[in-house]
Structure 1
Amino acid sequence: MKKPNLRADAANILLSVLEKGQSLRDTLPAAQEKHQDKDKAWLQEMVFGVLRQLPLLQYWLRQLLDKPLKGRNKVAEHLIVLGLYQLAFSRVSDHAAVSETVAACPTLKVPGLKGLVNAILRNFVRQKLATKKPENAQILSGLPNWLFQQISQHYPEQSEQLIHSMHNKAPIWLRVNQQQCSVKQYCAELEQQQIAYQISEQHPDGLILQRSCDITSLPGYDKGWFAVQDGAAQLAARLLSPQQGESILDACAAPGGKTCHILELQPGLKRCLALDVDQQRLLRVAENLHRLGHNADLVTGDASDTNSWWDGVPFDRILLDAPCSATGVIRRHPDIKWLRKASDINELVALQAKIMDALWPTLKSGGHMLYATCSILPQENGQQIGAFLSRHQDASVQKIPQGNVNNHPGRQILPGEQQMDGFYYCMLLKS
């Protein structure tokens, strides 16, 4: 069996994301399966790195490549960009970066381009282009121009720190399943295995690991003692505040982290319905519920088409984690900024409004809807809520901790704040 080539696999992943619009969630794991653990980590580090620095890498490439490669040769362009990243940002020696990158050409079925790849990478080293960066702020930001402009417009005083945080490596957050194990007990287990962690004062169930690790090797994984969930996402269930005997809807529930947390906080619910439009993703919800020892009603359905799944019995509380641009989680998913387009935002805003309007009649009078996104764009967040309130006279905003600052509805969390992802929450009360 032919040995897999790391750099060829990285180039193919970049081709899939940047030319074919496929997500890393669909392409990276399949490529990693062919490699040992050390190489799996290297592959992710390189692909993430290229996607984070893409505008700068393309700026350099334009100085070295006379004209873009086309057709089946296009993959070599992504291989060259990978080589540039190694030379400029990685610990790989110049000699190894050049020789190993060139050696990937036959695997990519472009053996005739070995000379071109070699010449471009050697010219990059010889001209010391890694030290020659443009003054263009958008290129240096690592963001597509549309997103750079959005951040500059909406966060003029915080844009530099915000962009920096978007490209930092995200920490691993755990949520201890206190139906199975107390936080104190779990901390003792981690200490026994000499696994370093931090406690977050704002997250009663949360821990932050100091180093990356194989999650399945952590104590109690098979026993359901914990789940992996960012600190911002951990706020959802506690803000929703489910009470005994209530009926709860978790709309757009996959992969089920918030559903499980709701059940951990209040196992005495009358009903917990996890709804998602994607049946395959709903299987992930079922797997997570099973591992953590919870039960919920799983329904495949479109949240904006309540006639297809709602039985007419109103809910006490609704968590709507709405489809969004995911601009708050780019540090975890750097492909998002290249898969999203400026034109997507208006479509997402329209979809969010459609879902909110559809779900509002399913909520009891006196009930609460917690609207959430992992976006940092006001169009999807505060402005969306403002528009909703103008359409629904029986809706009002209920203040949440650290929210409703300067008369803006809800709470906007920016990437890196208290080590969390970017997130938005707003609690709506139905009169």
Structure 2
Amino acid sequence: MSKTVTPPSPSSLPLWQLLIGCADAVAAVRQGQSLTDALAARPATERPGVQALSFAVLRRLGTAEALRKKLVPKAPQPWVDALLLSALALALGTEYNAHTLVDQAVEAAKRRAKVASGLVNAVLRRFLREQEALLSALDNDPVAQFNHPAWWIKRLKKDWPEHWQAILMANQEQPPMTLRANLRHGSTAAYVAQLVNAGLLPAPTATWPDAPDQAQPIALPSGVPVQRLPGFAEGDVSVQDAAAQIAAPLLIYAGGAPLASGARVLDACAAPGGKTAHLLELADLQVTALDADPERLARVQDTLKRLKLQARTVAADASQPDTWWDGQPFDAILLDAPCSASGIVRRHPDVRWLRRESDIAALAKTQDAILQALWPLLKPGGHLLYCTCSVFKMEGQDRIDAFLQRTPDAQACPAPGHLLPVVEYLDPARHNRGDGFFYALLHKTPA
């Protein structure tokens, strides 16, 4: 069973207080709320510590749930259950002394659910006494072993028979903090030098390219607050995973030569705006950034403002172009389609517990609908780049194969296809192992 997790951030708050917040967050996720929303409800002083604990717990939740079922077959009330799960998950790691953790979990129970403090104490102390035997009894439980739902594991086995275990293990790792230098402000090499001078990056061992069409992601050895990044407020740099940084240059150079200045480009499902900004950093384009969620679209506008870039932003459903399209065809379309996010669970460990098996087929229908709706908006001779942050083939190659079968004027072009988080497909010398992604580039043949 993997024990690789993000270590909790140092905090001046007592552990019992952070455990209360962690139990609140875990209970919310188990009831269907995203961890992002649950953390947003915490006081700002608690948020970093609670987030670190919650990430560790959610990466071990399968093991913790199996242990709790053996220790307490009848689940206690939801918050007490979440506290037990949190303490059991943390006890599996090395973040805290085991007896300190038990004492602080009991204190948390006393302050929130006093009647249950005895139960919490008894269960956790029994776990410490019988830990070896209890864990040995879970050896044949794949959910406890890999900390993913059974249906998720089954789907990965089917899609990636040679890589499924490596993908599951990679999902337990702390992801890198990967940066993208704004090439309108300077070269990647120049920004790397700023990071070295700031003590955020060791002296590079490889040569960083200066050409705009050869920009490379920059992976930091450890994450830092964005305020510590040189020139972040001024728009010199953005945080974006290495796999996501493939999108903009792939679309801009899809025809060999770059898109012409002033080309009309649609970024469908654009929030939070990383790909929109990257397009505008690389070329002088007329970009329409579309997203169905007005609140998420506001994040696109904030990103563009920080980077001093401009795009037309539209809050509308990409699958309903009659409600927002002006009738003028686009030279290129980027469709980052809604998906399961199964490729980014390193960064969002709650996703694996929030998704249901039935969601994948429902999302595939949505992906088909958006593809079908947007294709007529593309000029003949233009390119559409379809991508998802998913490792499931139903949301990637299966969708493109089906689309090509029913769309005579669509032609597949060279593209990365499925990218797995276990494959260092960019530059191993710079340790840029990206998230799980899928890319397909489609050319619209002239009539």
**Same fold judged by TM-score > 0.5?**
yes
Deviation at 1:128, TM superposition (A): 2.3
Q: What residue is the counterpart of 2:9 in the other structure?
A: none
* Counterpart in the other structure of 1:18: 30
Which residue pairs with 2:142 in the alignment? Answer: 137
Q: Is the 8 A contact 1:256 1:285 kept in 2?
A: yes
Q: What is the alpha-carbon distance in structure 1 between the residues aligned to residue 287 and residue 344 of structure 2?
A: 27
Can you list the C-alpha shifts for 1:43-95, whole angstroms capped at 9, x where unaligned?
223211221111111111111114112xxx32001101111122221321122
Structure 2 Cα separation of the partners of residues 417 and 230 of structure 1: 14
CA distance in 2, matches of 1:421, 1:297: 28
Q: Letter of the aligned partner of 2:296 in structure 1?
A: R
In the comparison of the two structures, how many residue pairs are matched?
410
Letter in 2 for 1:376: V
Residue 176 (1) aligns with residue 181 (2): yes
User: Which residue does 2:81 correspond to in 1?
Assistant: 77
2: CA distance between counterparts of 1:316 and 1:179?
23
Match of 2:352 among 323, 337, 341: 337
Q: Distance in 2 between matches of 1:313 and 1:327?
A: 35
The answer on whether the counterparts of 2:64 and 2:144 sit within 8 Å (CA) in structure 1 is no
Q: How does 1:171-250 map to 2 (within 5 A)?
A: 171-196=176-201, 204-241=215-252, 242-250=259-267
Corresponding position: 1:101 with 2:105: yes
For residues 238-277 of structure 1, the aligned pairs below 5 Å read: 238-241=249-252, 242-266=259-283, 268-269=284-285, 271-277=286-292
How far apart are the structure 1 equivalents of 2:89 and 2:69?
Answer: 14
Moved more, 201-210 or 166-175: 201-210
1:34 corresponds to which of 17, 42, 45: 45
Contact 1:203 1:234 in 2 (8 A): no
In the TM superposition, residue 41 of structure 1 has moved relative to its aligned partner by 4.2
Which residue of structure 2 lines up, in the alignment, with residue 8 of structure 1? 20
Structure 1 residue 425 corresponds to structure 2 residue 439: yes
Give me the whole-angstrom Cα distance separating, in 1, the residues matched to 2:339 and 2:114: 42
Q: What is the root-mean-square deviation of aligned Cα atoms in Å?
A: 1.8
String of CA shifts for 1:228-265, please: whole Å, max 9, x gaps.
00000000001001432311000000000000000011
Superposition deviation, residue 183 in structure 1 = 1.4
Alignment pair present for 1:415 and 2:421 = yes
Q: Does 1:64 align with 2:54?
A: no
C-alpha deviation, 1:127, in angstroms: 1.1
Structure 2 residue corresponding to 1:286, chosen from 294, 301, 305: 301
CA distance in structure 2 between the aligned counterparts of 1:233 and 1:203, rounded to whole angstroms: 15
Question: Out of 368, 371, 387, which is 1:356 matched to?
Answer: 371
Answer whether contact 1:325 1:375 (CA < 8 A) is retained. yes
- TM-aligned CA deviation for residue 8 of structure 1: 0.4
SS at match of 1:368: strand
Correspondence for 1:159: 164
Which residue, 305, 308, 311 being the options, matches 1:296? 311
2:4 matched residue in structure 1: none
Q: Distance in 1 between matches of 2:372 and 2:30?
A: 35
d(CA) in 2 for partners of 1:349, 1:78 = 33
Deviations 1:144-188 (A, max 9, x none): 011000001111111121111111110000000011122122112
Alignment-mate amino acid for residue 231 of structure 1: A
The counterpart of 1:369, out of the listed 374, 380, 384, is 384
Q: Tell me which amino acid in the other structure corresponds to 1:137.
A: P
Name segments (4+ residues, structure 1) moved above 3 Å. Answer: 197-203
CA contact (8 A) 2:142 2:150 kept: no
Match of 1:388 in 2: 403
Find the counterpart in structure 2 of residue 127 from structure 1: 130
For 1:385 and 1:52, the matched residues in 2 are separated by: 32
Where structure 1 has 5 or more consecutive residues not aligned to the other structure, the ranges are 404-410
Q: What SS is found at the alignment partner of 2:58?
A: helix
Of 235-244 and 145-154, more deviation after overlay is shown by: 235-244
Deviations 1:174-226 (A, max 9, x none): 00001112212211211111112667889614200001211112110111000
* 1:406 match: none
Secondary structure of residue in 2 paired with 1:372: strand
**Could you tell which deviates more after superposition, 174-183 or 302-311?**
174-183
Kept in 2, the 8 Å contact 1:166–1:416? The answer is: no
Partner SS, residue 371 of structure 1: strand
For 1:399, what is the secondary structure of its paired residue?
A: strand
Q: Which residue of 2 aligns with 1:408?
A: none
Q: In structure 1, how many angstroms separate the alpha carbons of the residues matched to 2:336 and 2:443? A: 16
One-letter amino acid matched to 1:211: S
Contact 2:265 2:288 survives alignment (8 Å): yes
Structure 2 residues not aligned, in runs of 5+: 1-12, 253-258, 425-432
**Paired-residue identity, %:** 38
Counterparts of 1:313-324 in structure 2, within 5 Å, are 313-324=328-339
Contact 1:196-1:211 at 8 Å conserved across structures = no
How far 1:136 sits from its partner (Å)? 2.5
- Partner Cα separation in structure 1 for residue 199 and residue 43 of structure 2: 28
Does the aligned pair in 2 maintain the 1:32–1:43 contact within 8 Å? no
In 2, the alpha carbon distance for the partners of 1:264 and 1:294 equals: 8
| Contact 2:63/2:143 (<8 A) preserved | no
